[in-house]
Chain A
Amino acid sequence: MGRTLAEKVWDDHVVARAEGEPDLLFIDLHLVHEVTSPQAFDGLRAAGRGVRRPDLTLVTEDHNIPTIDIDRPIADPVSAEQVRVVRRNAEEFGLRIFSMGDRENGIVHVVGPQLGLTQPGMTVVCGDSHTSTHGAFGALAFGIGTSEVEHVLATQTLPLKPFKTMAINVEGALPAGVTAKDVILAIIAKIGTGGGQGYVLEYRGEAIRSLSMEGRMTICNMSIEAGARAGMIAPDETTFAYLKDRPHAPKGADWDAAVAYWRTLVTDDDATFDAEVTIDATTLTPYVTWGTNPGQGLPLSASVPSPADATDEVAKVAIERALDYMGLTPGTPLRDINVDMVFVGSCTNGRIEDLRAAADVLRGRHVADGVHMLVVPGSVKVREQAIAEGLDQVFVDAGADWRYAGCSMCLAMNPDKVPSGKRAASTSNRNFEGRQGPGSRTHLVSPQVAAATAVAGHLASPADLEG
């Protein structure tokens, strides 16, 4: 019987298999950041163990680092301590680290792909749930806990229980103005935040095939928001073209051998998925979230839902609670919701293409009075590229706040926070209560909608700004 993409990658990494025990899988790439790694290194030290494969391990600083005054000491003591510790650990265990200020520094999930380190058919792990991003290349990539970080450091393997597979077919062509972010928000709204639990998702169909690698990363990034541990997209010419000549991509004969292997990484025609979901791409429009989980999203043209629309008591209470936290009234058109802040950035939408899309909307326009727009590139390289293309000037001219790279307002571990009670349109991935700062209210949007919202002062799409 045929196998799915995920099963092929899994099978190619089995180190040991025994009845009644989880498979032991080899890990091709282990990405490490400052928040979830300290105890893992401490555990190694306590047990007298070392890092088995420093050459398959890469460390970055991203969650805590400030996006202004990056040449000064970090003010917050907890953040400063985590950064200090990760540097010491990298040095002690001989690991390559991209520290704040380094030209290669950036959000862990932006850095791996931009270096060409994330490749089809690899297993990629990181102590971070948005590791699913790397699945855009046809890699099996997922987040792990701190004790698993220690495990991978020590053994370069992980014992893993089998997963189920789910096909997400996005059929037909995407209408103009509809982005990858809209697609994934629509998928999560359809299957729910628990819909992917226990599954590895494979995104398929014409709409997915037509996306750039940046768009595919946006989709796979939010697989975790649907409850799935990983999401994947089969590699194709778009993938190969993106990887060619990147610093860590194979070269010469290795490139040819790699591409030949990568071409085998597709789900066989006679393979079966444990579940399938189909979405009609042609009906999609810009999506925004109105509530406090990523599944609470609607087309921008819709209105705030009412608890009375709920089908059961649990859903009713969930809507009530979300509306209360978000300070919204049922029936309000989503376009009438005013925002105080706009955030463009994160591992979901902080890549060069995202900045270009936001800049295209802002060019010749100005951010509305009273709105603070923050643009935070996903990595130093993205920042340099944006500057080379003159995007920084577009942002500054439009009155936006152009910053250095990092996770920033995505989770507000650094000083970039949405103040309590204030409302943000954000290109990040989580609209949980307090995610962007205590009391913050978040609407998840695409970079295009974020920029248009900044100009209009209320949730809006670029089309709303015309005429």
Chain B
Amino acid sequence: MEKFVSFTGVAAPLRRSNVDTDQIVPAEYLKRVTRTGFADGCFASWRKDPGFVLNQPAYREAQVLVAGPDFGTGSSREHAVWALQDYGFKAVISSRFADIFRGNSAKTGLVTAIVEQDGIEQLWKLIEANPGVAVTVDLEHRVVRCESVTLPFEIDDYTRWRLMEGLDDIGLSLRHADAIDAYEARRPAFKPTTLAG
């Protein structure tokens, strides 16, 4: 997974609360057998509405999502994070995230920045006043910047560290590659293998 230190990109204002994972990616997309290619599933039902924010030219290429509170509630599907990332999002900013969604995001490198609702309102106003304006999510300094406004955001030390190092769960475990080698070397000979014969 890519290292994330600071990112600047077009932000889209999603003025909705309780955006559940069914909205982020509907159940029909769960039958797929691939890990990527979920961009078309991202907010699929809302995108059928021409007035939906991501259908407006200024926001179509957005890479930062500024959403209302309780983002990512509902079923624990990991596909929700994959869909947001496949669409192009690098970070989601909200005043509250569902726990499982937040955990899943950290695993695959999507930054979830918690900004107080006042700050979210400020961001929405700035973005809507100037559609297409860039927002910076500076993970190193834990701030979101947009034009003259700088807002602090919350993210725990451990998640911040792993995102900045670009370590997914597998990467984290592979830091112990030597210990895995050593364990394998001392496993008893009687343990079975799946090989034929």
The answer to whether the Cβ of A282 comes within 8 Å of any Cβ in the partner chain is no
Q: Is A96 a contact partner of B191 (Cβ separation < 8 A)?
A: no
The answer to whether the Cβ of A205 comes within 8 Å of any Cβ in the partner chain is no
Interface centre among B179, B190, B193 (most CB of A within 10 A): B190
* CA distance in complex: A156, B162 (Å): 21
Complex interface: chain A residues within 8 A of B188 (CB): 257-258, 261
The answer to whether the Cβ of A47 comes within 8 Å of any Cβ in the partner chain is yes
Complex interface: chain A residues within 8 A of B48 (CB): none
Complex interface: chain A residues within 8 A of B78 (CB): 145-147
Q: Is A250 a contact partner of B192 (Cβ separation < 8 A)?
A: yes
Q: Is B190 a contact partner of A258 (Cβ separation < 8 A)?
A: yes
The answer to whether the Cβ of A19 comes within 8 Å of any Cβ in the partner chain is no
The one of A26, A47, A147, A261 that contacts B180, using a Cβ cutoff of 8 Å: A26
Q: Which residue of B lies closest to A251 (CB)?
A: B190
Q: Which residue of A lies closest to B176 (CB)?
A: A16
B-side interface size class: 20 to 34
The answer to whether the Cβ of A49 comes within 8 Å of any Cβ in the partner chain is yes
Complex interface: chain B residues within 8 A of A56 (CB): 193-194
The answer to whether the Cβ of A299 comes within 8 Å of any Cβ in the partner chain is no
The answer to whether the Cβ of B107 comes within 8 Å of any Cβ in the partner chain is yes
Complex interface: chain B residues within 8 A of A255 (CB): 190
The answer to whether the Cβ of A117 comes within 8 Å of any Cβ in the partner chain is yes
Q: Is A57 a contact partner of B190 (Cβ separation < 8 A)?
A: no
Q: Is A151 a contact partner of B169 (Cβ separation < 8 A)?
A: yes
Complex interface: chain A residues within 8 A of B55 (CB): none
The answer to whether the Cβ of A157 comes within 8 Å of any Cβ in the partner chain is yes
- Please judge, given known A-B contacts A16-B176, A146-B78, whether A57 and B170 are in contact too, CB under 8 Å: no
Q: Is A156 a contact partner of B180 (Cβ separation < 8 A)?
A: yes
The one of B35, B168, B172, B173 that contacts A39, using a Cβ cutoff of 8 Å: B35
* CA distance in complex: A122, B191 (Å): 8
Q: Which residue of B lies closest to A146 (CB)?
A: B78
The answer to whether the Cβ of B6 comes within 8 Å of any Cβ in the partner chain is no
Q: Is B173 a contact partner of A151 (Cβ separation < 8 A)?
A: yes
Complex interface: chain B residues within 8 A of A28 (CB): 191-192
- When each residue 108-137 of chain B gets 1 if its CB lies under 8 Å from chain A and 0 otherwise, what string results? 000000000000000000000000000000
Q: Is B170 a contact partner of A49 (Cβ separation < 8 A)?
A: yes
Extra contacts, 20 of them, besides A28-B191, A54-B194, A257-B189 (Cβ < 8 A), are A24-B173, A24-B180, A28-B192, A29-B192, A38-B34, A39-B33, A40-B35, A45-B35, A46-B36, A55-B194, A81-B33, A117-B194, A155-B180, A156-B184, A157-B176, A159-B172, A248-B193, A250-B192, A257-B188, A258-B190
* A-B complex: 3 closest residue pairs judged by Cβ atoms: A42-B35, A38-B33, A258-B190
